Amino acid sequence: MNFQIFEPVYEAILSDFGFDRAADERARDVAADIATPFPLDRLGDWRGETVAIAGAAPCLSDEVEIARNADVVVAASTAADALRDRGVDVDCMVTDLDKNPETAAALTHEGVPVAAHAHGDNIPAVREWLPRFADEATLATTQAAPVGPIRNLGGFTDGDRAAFLADHVGAGRLVFPGWDFDDPDVDPMKARKLDWAARLLRWLERRRNERFGILDGRRPELDAALDPILPGHDDVI
């Protein structure tokens, strides 16, 4: 994913939530002053592998074996703690530093790559935590235009950013333990973010010519939301 392709979707997200693009850019620039370049080959070779994109919904406790049986595990936020507590190694963590930044920092010092995301609402966390991460294991990301060592590989929430990262480096098959788009216990803002995560995963499966089971029964409504903003070359499957 390059930013020119992602930008129309990013602009739609900004408009829907009323987010400030300039704030995202300020966060990106703060991260750029701290981060160092992260060559993606430091992730290891995920080409053709089954990659588990582990979400942090409560159902993860019932779906741990999906992650355990995958070749690569990418954990979104607190899914990293839940999996490690159950003896499942995490190969990469994706976080915007809002829940368990201490886990993310510790993982980098163990040599586990962490994609640490800077956005307009987390500048204080970026300033506090990014300097505590091991540089060689830290991939700093933005949802705005990338600059310097900061990358934008697509996505909006921790979970769908993890999926876009895996796609970018050639993952063969994506599986999704720990996802629940209808979790009744999340607040309204989180529910709206989950709606966008579903849309972005639908976009990704269209681009990959793949079907993600977690989107079954949702595709018509997701396509209706996506088609007005997507580049015209995406094929619908």
> How many CB atoms within 10 Å of residue 140?
27
Res 224 pLDDT > 80: yes
pLDDT tens digit sequence for 141-151: 999 999 999 99
Q: Is the dihedral of CA 143, 117, 120, 225 positive or negative?
A: positive
Report yes or no: 14 and 139 within 8 Å, Cβ to Cβ: no
pLDDT at 237: 42
What pLDDT score does 232 carry? 58
Using CA atoms, how far apart are residues 106 and 179, in angstroms rounded to an integer?
25
Q: Would you kindly state where each structural domain of the chain is located, as residue ranges?
A: 3-185
Residue 90: strand, helix, or coil: coil
Kindly report, residue by residue over 184-212, the tens digit of the pLDDT.
999 999 999 999 999 999 999 999 999 99
Question: What pLDDT, in 10s, does the model give residues 62-110?
Answer: 999 999 999 999 999 999 999 999 999 999 999 999 999 999 999 999 9
Q: What is the DSSP letter of 133?
A: S
